[in-house]
């Protein structure tokens, strides 16, 4: 488990991250959603310790290995796929360079193992970046736009790779993406971020979501839903349609001005509304 507590980051007086609070559990895949410049990549860099941030990142596992694909995959252009991964294994003091062929097969570029990096397509470069991130069997995996440059078949193959090979009960996986449809297929929890703030964290359990003004709720139920405040200090409830129907059957909950939205509409609403999640870790 990783606890991110009040993490902030500033550059030249500008806030890039603003008191980010998250609890990340092993066995789960988290989708990080937000526009360009929202703070997604910076959050990954904070987890890597690559930037000097304020706040705390607490990890309960002393034997942590982080695999990462952040921004553009960095490799030596005149070395082959195999040579680049072998060199990375040597630099990172990893012992699994003998498994490079298996990793290349896993990400679907084994037939290009002897091709120079500079001759690869963008999609193949992304796949090689994922193979590099998986070296050493990391228990934390950070993938920044892993489907960037992939054609529809490649995107489907990446989805299958994440579901069948990358997902693990002993691993935390965080994926940032602009592909809302794809992220909905592979993640357990959706985290929306904008202007350096976490706006919403919600379980990915339905295709339809409820947005409305919360007027009444029991104290017991309040712990089960995501509660936000808008700029008018009104309580805004966001939950899946499935969760709303379950809660409505047994207990008291009153939401007015209800909107039923899909993930794309939810994203647009959240990015356009001045809301902040009411949350304590």
Q: Which residues pair with 86 in a beta bridge?
A: none
Q: Which residues pair with 29 in a beta bridge?
A: 173
Residue 21 above 50 pLDDT? yes
Residues 170-225: tens digit of each pLDDT: 999 999 988 888 899 999 999 999 999 998 999 998 899 999 988 888 777 777 77
Residue 96's pLDDT is what? 58
Instruction: Decide: 77 and 125 in contact? Cβ < 8 Å.
Output: no
Confidence class for position 279, pLDDT limits 50, 70, 90: low
Confidence class for position 95, pLDDT limits 50, 70, 90: low
**Residue 251 DSSP code:** S
Is 239 exposed, middle or buried (CB count within 10 Å of its CB: 0-12, 13-18, 19+)? buried
Tell me the C-alpha distance between 2 and 24, whole Å.
5
Residue 20's pLDDT is what? 95
Confidence class for position 271, pLDDT limits 50, 70, 90: confident
Specify the pTM: 0.89
Q: Which CATH superfamily is domain 28-35+62-187 in?
A: P-loop containing nucleotide triphosphate hydrolases (3.40.50.300)
Name which residue leads in pLDDT, 55 or 276: 55
Q: Which residues, 6+ apart, have CB-to-CB distance to 169 below 8 Å? A: 26, 27
Phi, psi of 161 (to 5 degrees): -60, -45
Residue 66's pLDDT is what? 93
Domain limits, the chain: 28-35+62-187, 205-277
Tell me the C-alpha distance between 277 and 129, whole Å.
34
Instruction: Decide: 6 and 185 in contact? Cβ < 8 Å.
Output: no
Return mean pLDDT, the chain: 88
């Amino acid at each position: 488990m990783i606890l991110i507590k009040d993490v902030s980051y500033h550059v030249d007086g500008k806030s890039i991250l603003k008191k980010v609070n998250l609890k990340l559990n092993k066995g789960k895949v988290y989708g990080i959603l937000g526009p360009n410049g929202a703070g997604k990549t910076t959050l990954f860099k904070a987890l890597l310790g690559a930037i000097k941030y304020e706040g705390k990142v607490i990890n309960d596992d002393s034997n942590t290995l982080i695999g990462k694909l952040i921004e553009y995959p960095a490799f030596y252009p005149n070395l082959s796929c195999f040579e680049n991964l072998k060199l990375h294994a040597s630099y990172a003091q990893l012992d699994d360079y003998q498994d490079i062929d298996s990793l290349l097969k896993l990400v679907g570029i084994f037939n290009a193992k002897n091709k120079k990096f500079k001759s690869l397509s963008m999609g193949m470069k992304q796949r090689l970046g994922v193979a590099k991130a998986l070296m050493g069997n990391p228990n934390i995996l950070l993938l920044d736009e892993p489907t960037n440059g992939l054609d529809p078949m490649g995107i489907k193959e990446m989805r299958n790779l994440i579901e069948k090979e990358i997902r693990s009960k002993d691993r935390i996986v965080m994926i940032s993406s602009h592909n809302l449809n794809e992220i909905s297929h592979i993640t357990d929890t959706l985290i929306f971020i904008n202007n350096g703030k976490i706006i919403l964290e919600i379980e990915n359990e339905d295709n339809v979501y409820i947005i409305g003004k919360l007027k009444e709720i029991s104290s017991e139920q309040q712990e089960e839903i995501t509660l936000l405040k808008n700029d008018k200090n009104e309580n805004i409830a966001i939950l899946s349609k499935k969760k709303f129907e379950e809660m409505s059957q047994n207990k008291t909950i009153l939401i007015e001005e209800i909107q039923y939205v899909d993930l794309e509409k939810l994203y647009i609403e959240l990015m356009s509304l001045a809301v902040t999640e009411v949350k304590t870790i």
